[in-house]
Structure 1
Amino acid sequence: MAEREYPTALGASTPTTITLLGHDLAEDVMGSVGFGELAFWLATQRRPGPGEVRVFEAVLAALADHGFTPTAIVTRLTYLSAPDSVQGALAAGLLGGGSRFLGVTEDTGRFLHDVLASVGGDLPADDAGWDALALTCVRDRRSAKELVPGLGHHVHKNGDPRTPRLMRIATEEGLSGPHLSLFAAIGRVHPEVLGKTLPLNGAGVCGAALADLGLPLELLRGFALLARTAGLIGQLAEELRNPVGNDIFLSVDLNNRSVPPEPQAPDTRP
């Protein structure tokens, strides 16, 4: 019985060579292909153009680090608890990439994609058309008592500086597509529905930009996590130089107070 083969277009090795994406890793890739370009290439199995690389790397930069977020804090605290496990500290931070932090990138991209899919190929031709489509989808979310992904930010309440910059980069590279157009329209029209003005957040615009690049929606959170990995390595490096993890731990441990348990509702199950 012949041994089963497992074909792959990614990395493969022989005793003398390593190939990656059909190229000689040592001679054709190392020193010639940047990491952002390689990450895009690995995910799509097509080599991106310079403009695509610029937009993609701008997204990675936008998502790399945003201060003492829960993901950063848990990475530092895990390292405090297990300094022998850098991989555990990084993994702990990445596992926190959910619907409130980092996952917004995927949620926004999927939301915009679903709205665009609902109109088929009949996309708006001008800002007025995009605004009308945006009004409809914001009203639908409001009626369903659901939030609009990518709308609002807990810190940048008057505008996320990453959003206009990434939109400008995409426009400069001719890569501002329907997802970014719809997202921008949502930014213009949502006050009419919600009665207040919220910023388009950076994680959301990253999801729109990645979707316009044609990257798989199923991997959008993965790209956010790729970016944040670099940020978490930076957090660990700073923790080594200027540790604050123990102070964070003690600020909770030394300031807890005992209270009686809250009464539980009676169990009415039969």
Structure 2
Amino acid sequence: METDGQTSSAPVYPTGIGTSDVDAIHLLGHDLAGELLGRTSFGELAFWLVAKRRPTPSESRLFEAVLVALADHGFTPTAIAARMTYYSAPDSLQGALAAGLLGGGSRFLGVTEDTGTFLAEVLRAAAEEGKVPAAPCNDEWDGLAREAVRARRAAGRFVPGLGHPVHKKGDPRTPVIIAIADEEGLRGPHLRLFEAIGRVAPDVLGRTLPLNGAGVCGAALADLGFRPEILRGFALLARTAGLLGHLAEEMDQPIAPDIYYSVDRNARYTQPGTD
């Protein structure tokens, strides 16, 4: 179309994810119905959608182990929020799921991203100074970890990935994720630094805190090549399955009404300014 001698064209919105026409759906450069359905797992597809490359079998195994590790952890605040929202609005399943996901933050689910970001920052700074260990030598990794934990403590900040409200003596997910990464040749610098933090933290902090599952998942995802800013998305993706399970159970065995009545009947009103 020409206007006053100038040529105008429709805007272009590029995407490498997917498109469709009257006859087919195309996803990541493949025919969805003819090439992917029945041949690609959901976990493999999730990896592929973000990385824009198909994962190797080893990467798929570690990635899906991370998703399983993060899917559910019992009656966490996120699960309770989803159940309570469903009780309040049973006509809005999507609202209940969203309520649970919105609770993914610094204490629950967000630790995956926080840990990955912390490890990446330490490694980036070490790389600039030529201090990243060239070999899997524990002494060298411990030295780097000790500096990082000391700096964090001096700044008055928590070390993400350390400690768990339930698993005080050790998160059972952590050694399994590390073992899978090792078996698949994917035990990279983020995991090695994370392990070293677990070894040196008791001496630096004066107390023993376990390496938690959300943290080790962040380290594993970072070693798979994902940028820190996307890691919380994978935690939320995994937890969506867990929340959906909680909501299905809530439909059959509701607990939200009891939670509501318990809080309502035991609420204690106090005048403003009094205890």
TM-score for both structures, normalised by structure 2: 0.94
**2:56 matched to 1:56?**
no
Displacement of 1:9 in angstroms is 1.1
- What is the deviation of 1:185? 0.3
Q: How far is 1:49 from its partner?
A: 0.2
Instruction: Give CA-to-partner distance per residue, 1:177-205, whole Å, 9 cap, x none.
Output: 00000000000111111111100000000
Q: Deviations over 1:147-186 (max 9, x none)?
A: 0000000100000000000000000000000000000000
Among 116, 123, 126, which residue is 2:132 paired with?
123
In structure 1, the residue matched to 2:39 is 32
Supply the RMSD in Å over aligned alpha carbons: 0.9
Aligned to 2:215: 204
Single out whichever of 91-100 and 2-11 deviates more from structure 2. Answer: 2-11
Question: Runs of 5+ in structure 1 lacking a partner?
Answer: 264-270
Displacement, 1:235? 0.3
Deviations 1:60-86 (CA, angstroms, capped at 9, x unpaired): 000000000000000000000000000
Query: Structure 2: which amino acid aligns with 1:33?
Result: T
Q: CA deviation at 1:47?
A: 0.3
Which structure 2 residues correspond to residues 42-53 of structure 1 after superposition, within 5 A?
A: 42-53=49-60
Q: Please state how far the C-alpha of 1:259 moved relative to its aligned partner.
A: 1.1
Unaligned runs of 5+ residues in structure 2 are: 1-7
Q: Secondary structure at the match of 1:31?
A: coil
Q: Which moved more, 1:104-113 or 1:124-133?
A: 124-133
Q: 1:122: how far off? A: 3.8
Work out the number of aligned pairs and report it.
Answer: 263
**In structure 1, C-alpha distance between the alignment counterparts of 2:164 and 2:9, rounded to whole Å:** 57
Q: How does 1:1-270 map to 2 (within 5 A)?
A: 1-120=8-127, 122-124=131-133, 125=135, 126-262=137-273
Per-residue deviation, 1:2:
2.5
Question: C-alpha separation between the residues in 2 aligned to 1:84 and 1:139?
Answer: 51
Using the aligned pairs only, state the percent identity: 66
Deviation at 1:25, TM superposition (A): 0.5
**Hey, what's the Cα distance between the residues in 2 that align with 1:30 and 1:251?**
47
Distance (whole Å) between structure 1 residues aligned to residue 60 and residue 183 of structure 2: 13
SS at match of 1:19: strand
Residue 3 of structure 1 deviates from its aligned partner by 1.9
- Counterpart Cα distance in 2 of 1:227 and 1:185: 27
CA distance in 1, matches of 2:86, 2:165: 27
> Post-superposition shift, 1:240?
1.0
Alpha-carbon distance between aligned partners in 2 of 1:186 and 1:229, rounded to the nearest angstrom: 30
Q: TM-score with structure 1 length normalisation?
A: 0.96
Distance apart, 1:31 and its partner CA: 0.7
- Runs of 4+ aligned structure 1 residues displaced above 6 Å come to none
Equivalents in 2 of 1:8, 1:103: separation in Å? Answer: 28
The SS at the match of 2:266 is: coil
Alignment partner of 2:50: what SS?
Answer: helix
